[in-house]
Each structure stands twice: as C-alpha cells, then as structure tokens.
Amino acid sequence: MSFGDPNNPYGQPQGQQPGYGQPQGQQQPGYGYPQGQQQPGYGYPQAPPVQPYGAGGYPQGPTKMPGLMTAARVIMFIVAGLQIIIGIIAGIGIAAASEAVDSDAATGLAGLGFAIVFILLLLAGLAIFLAVKFATGGTAIRVLTIIYASLVILGGLGNFASGEPTGVPGGIISLAIGGIILASMVNSQASAWFNRPRQQY
C-alpha cells in the first residue's frame, strides 16, 4: 500500500490526518478573532457590569436629606434654643429665691429646681448634638433620636397627667413636637438616609 510520494508538496505528510492544513490539537480561531478571546455577539457592544444598588434603591444611597427629617431637625434646633433660654432664666430665678429665703425647705426646693434645670439643659444639648449629626450620623444617631422623641412624648403625657390647666397647652405642644420627630425617624426614607454608604476619609 502506498501512502503517497513524500516529496510531493501537495500530498499529506505520512501519519497525519487531514484537517484543512491545521496542525493536530490546535483549535481554529473563530472568524478572525484571536484564539482565546470571546467574540461579541452580532456587533452589539457588551453591556457594562450591573452596579449594586445602595440603601433605598439609590445607586449610591440618597444624596439629599428627606423633607420630614429636615423639618424635624429645624424643630429640634428651635426647641433646644428655647430650653436653653428657659433653663438660664429658671436657674437665675432659683438662685435669687434661695438667697432671699434662708431655710432648709428653701434649700431643698432650690436643689430640686437646679436638678430640673440641669436635665433641661442636658436635653437641649442632646437635641443640638442629634440635629447636627443628622447630616453625617448613622444608625446610632437614628436610635438616639427615637429615644429623644419618646422622652418628649412622655413629657407631654406628663403634662396632661398633672391635671393642671396650664399643663394642657404644653402637653399638646410636646406631643406634636415628639410626634413629628418620631415620625421622621421611623419611615423608609430615614432608614435609607442613615444606612447610605459614606466616603471614608
């Protein structure tokens, strides 16, 4: 049996199966693209990778503070300012009254009054701190604000429970303020705002 002339340039070398002149074991590139490179489909550009969405469905989270939170922030600044003014006036009045009346009962009442003034100023400082941190704070600021709003609501209910007619307007105002602040913290927009991704410096 003859396997062809080994000197014939058009003949198939001995021991090699026909494969259109392609060396055995080598894959033919597809339509002019380099071997190992994926060919795009029918001339359309490949889609960019899908970017993950942040909190609240925004690509990078919300970039503007929700309107209800902005209103609650302004209210907290106003309330804190009023508490500071009332606390200073009350502290001056208590000090003057304790000096005018020198007795153990007056001293005890003055001590109680100063304690109330201290709590009032402490709440004012907390309100200012929380309102400032609305812009950059995270979940902890949100939780503390919910606690603050709950304390304001409890204070309003306490005014109603006192039974004094003068406590009713203060109770209504406290309930309204606490309700607005609490409502601004327990909605989905607040969750998206405080959970948004932040740039690390």
Instruction: List, for residues 33-90, the tens digit of each pLDDT value.
Output: 455 555 555 555 555 554 444 444 445 667 788 899 999 999 999 999 999 999 999 9
pLDDT of residue 11: 55
Residue 126 lies in a domain: yes
Residue 108 lies in a domain: yes
pLDDT of residue 155: 87
pLDDT of residue 94: 86
Percentage of the chain beyond pLDDT 70 is 66
pLDDT at 160 over 90: no
pLDDT of residue 201: 35
DSSP collapsed to 3 states, the chain: CCCCCCCCCCCCCCCCCCCCCCCCCCCCCCCCCCCCCCCCCCCCCCCCCCCCCCHHHCCCCCCCCCHHHHHHHHHHHHHHHHHHHHHHHHHHHHHHHHHHCCCHHHHHHHHHHHHHHHHHHHHHHHHHHHHHHCCCCCHHHHHHHHHHHHHHHHHHHHHHHCCCCCHHHHHHHHHHHHHHHHHHHCCHHHHHHHCCCCCCC
Residue 184 lies in a domain: yes
Residue 121 lies in a domain: yes
Structural domain boundaries enclosing 71? 67-194
Residue 23 lies in a domain: no
Residue 118 lies in a domain: yes
Instruction: List, for residues 6-29, the tens digit of each pLDDT value.
Output: 565 555 555 555 545 555 555 555
Number of domains in the chain: 1
Residue 177 lies in a domain: yes
Instruction: List, for residues 81-104, the tens digit of each pLDDT value.
Output: 999 999 999 989 888 887 777 777
Residue 162 lies in a domain: yes
